[in-house]
Amino acid sequence: MNNRPNISRILINTHKRLQADVNDDIGFFVGVTEQCDIDLCEQHGVSYVIQPNDPRQKFNAALAMAYDKGYDAFLIMGDDDSISTDGFIFARDAIESGAQYVGFKKNYFCDLLRHKSMMHTQPYVVDKLIGAGRMLSRFAVESILLRAVISWRKVHLHYQLGDEIEVSERTAEYLQGYGYAKIKERKQGALWQPGRARGLDHDSELHLVMNGFTPIAVDDKRIHITDFKSNPQANIWSYSILEEKCRVVKYEDAMWFLSEEELSYIRTV
C-alpha cells in the first residue's frame, strides 16, 4: 500500500468478494509505510508488515509473511488491482493440479478519473504474464525465499574445490548430504531484487524463470484482471503512458466481474 487508502480499498473489497465466493481460507498480507495504511489494515483486519517506502521491499516482506503463515499458494496483487472470482479459481486449480507459477496474459486498465478503459494483451508467443494475478506454489516460493551458499567439496562439471555458489536450501541440503558440497551460510532470498521502482513484474518473472519456474497462462476468452488508475503521480505506470499499446473498450467492460458492493464503491472514488 502506498498512502492512498481510497484506492487500497479496491483490493480490500476484492478480497472480501473472494472470501465470500470461494470455499478457501484466503489470507491477506500487505506491506505498508504510512500510518493511514496501517489504520486501514487494522480497520479491515488485514495483516501488514511495516517497511521503508520501497515497493520491492514491501512485496518481499508481505510474501515472506504469508509464507511463514503456512499458506499453500500465493497470489500477487497491487492494491489498485482486482481479479475475478473465476480467474482466482482458474489460478488456484492450476496450482492444485501441480503447476508452480501461473497467471494471465490479458488485463484491463481502467481510468477512474476520466471514466475510460482499455484492454491490454502481452504480445509475446510465450506465456509472459501480467504482473497482477500471478500465483505461485509453495514450492516455488520456498525455492526463492529459502537460500543457502555452498562450497564445493568435489570437482563436478565446471565446479572446482572451494567454489561457492548460492542455491535453494533444498538443493544445498541434498548436495551436502551427498558429500558434494558444504553449506556455508543459510540466507533469506527475495523474489523482487533491489532496483528501481519500475520493472517489478519483469524482474520478478525473470528471477522465477532463471530458477526453473516458467509461467503458464490460464486465460480464457474473458479478461479476469483489472488495474485501476487514478492520480498519475500515484501510479508507477500512468494510464496515459499505456494508451499507446492498448485497445479502447467500454468503461463498464473492465468491471464486469465486480460485485454490486464493489461497483458502488468504485463510483465514489
**pLDDT 10s digits, 41-84:** 999 999 999 999 999 999 999 999 999 999 999 999 999 999 99
Whether 165 is covered by a domain: the verdict is: no
Cell reading at 68 = 511463514
Q: For the domain that residue 225 is a member of, what is the CATH number? A: 3.90.550.10
Note whether 90 and 218 are within 8 A (CB): yes
Q: Which of 13-17, 28-32, 191-195 has the lowest mean pLDDT?
A: 191-195
What is the reported pLDDT for 196?
A: 75
Residue 168 three-state SS: strand
Inside any domain, residue 221:
yes
Q: Name the residue among 263, 192, 231, 200 with its Cα closest to residue 3.
A: 231
| From 105-109, 126-130, 240-244, the region with the lowest mean pLDDT | 240-244
Query: 146 in a domain, yes or no?
Result: no
Question: Angle at which helices 55-68 and 138-145 pack, to 10 degrees?
Answer: 120
* Residue-level pLDDT at 23: 86
137 within some domain: yes
Convert the pLDDT of each residue in 108-140 to its tens digit.
Answer: 999 998 899 999 999 999 999 999 999 999 999
Name the residue among 138, 141, 159 with its Cα closest to residue 150.
159
Judged by average pLDDT, the poorest of 33-42, 120-129, 191-200, 255-264 is 191-200
Q: Taking residues 160-175, report their average pLDDT.
A: 96
Output 246 or 262, whichever has higher pLDDT: 262
Is 247 domain-assigned?
A: yes
> Which one has a higher pLDDT value, 208 or 241?
208
Taking the C-alpha atoms of residue 188 and residue 169, their distance in angstroms, rounded to an integer, is: 10
Residue 133 lies in a domain: yes
Using DSSP, state whether 159 is helix, strand or coil.
Answer: strand
Task: Please state the domain count of the chain.
Answer: 1
Burial 47-76 (b: 16+ CB within 10 A, else e): ebbebeebbbbbbbbbbbbbbeeebebbbb
Task: Tell me if 58 sits within 8 A of 32, measured CB to CB.
Answer: yes
Residue 269: what pLDDT?
Answer: 85
In a domain, 24, yes or no: yes
Tell me the mean pLDDT in the region 182-193.
96
Strand 181-188 to 146-152 pairing: antiparallel
pTM more than 0.85 = yes
Nearest Cα residue to 135 out of 168, 98, 169: 98
Provide the domain limits for residue 68.
5-141+212-266
Average pLDDT over residues 141-157: 96
* 188 within a domain of the structure (yes/no): no
The residue whose grid cell reads 530458477 is 211
Look at 231 and 163; give whichever has higher pLDDT.
163
In 3D space, the residue among 262, 245, 264 whose CA is nearest the CA of residue 20 turns out to be 262
